[in-house]
Amino acid sequence: MIAILKKELWSYFGNWSAWLIIAAFSLIATLFLFFFDNDSNIFEIGMASLQSYFVLVPWLLMFIIPALSMKTFAEEQQTGTLNWLFSQPLKVSDLVFGKFLSVWIVGILCLIPSLIYLYTVYVLGVPAGNIDLGMTFGSYIGLIILIAAFSGVGILASSISQNQIMAYLLGVFMCFIMYFGIEQLASYKLLGGADFILQNIGFYQHFLGFTRGLIDFKDVAYFVLIIGITLVLSNHFINKKK
């Protein structure tokens, strides 16, 4: 698993793809937070808070994480190297988990430049440091866990797909449905009392708790369960390709 993790990380950072994705992610976030005229602009909000950043980032991750994960298995199958991996002395579960960890790590690295935003907001507060650090750090933990969930979904999409384009589109669609689609369906209140159950199937409500600074065991357990299910299913679909 460690060998697969190192190989995947090298494939991301060795050809500049990870650097470009991190740079693009940071540039888009910076433009929305400080330059574009929109509801996320920190100067227009007039509050020393990164709350708008934590609202924006999940939408960016819906497109970034599938872009990272689409190559994990779909590319291996396209190029024929998946059969070579099967011939190596490693378990399919190690293969899946190693690739999952690599996507998760690169996803987390996308958040590192945002520490500059945190420092900026911290300094601009009146008085300096007038920022809810508990809510901020809780939101960061929520993002790290959400990245893991998106990574699991992306790995699953790649394990199902025959090529990278299909893996990317399927990954974006699945992430969108899990984060926003289910929440919107539940908001129509068409199922009566079952709407609450439907709402809690999606990512949004569980991520929302973290953005309020609340680290609830139920929310953490939910994401761990989702990650486990996606990795088990990925393992199943990859085993079928042997």
pTM of the model: 0.92
What confidence category does residue 184 fall into, taking pLDDT thresholds of 50, 70 and 90?
A: confident
Please state the separation of Cα 164 from the chain's center in Å. Answer: 18
Nearest-angstrom CA–CA distance, 183 and 169 = 20
Look up residue 206 and give its amino acid: H
Check whether the bond before 127 is cis (ω within 30° of 0).
yes
% of the chain with per-residue pLDDT over 70:
96
Query: For position 129, what pLDDT does the model report?
Result: 66
Nearest-angstrom CA–CA distance, 217 and 239 = 33
What confidence category does residue 85 fall into, taking pLDDT thresholds of 50, 70 and 90?
A: confident
Mean pLDDT, rounded, for 175-199? 82
**How many other CB atoms are there within 10 angstroms of residue 43's CB atom?**
9
Residue 67 has pLDDT above 90, yes or no: yes
Residue 74 has pLDDT above 80, yes or no: yes
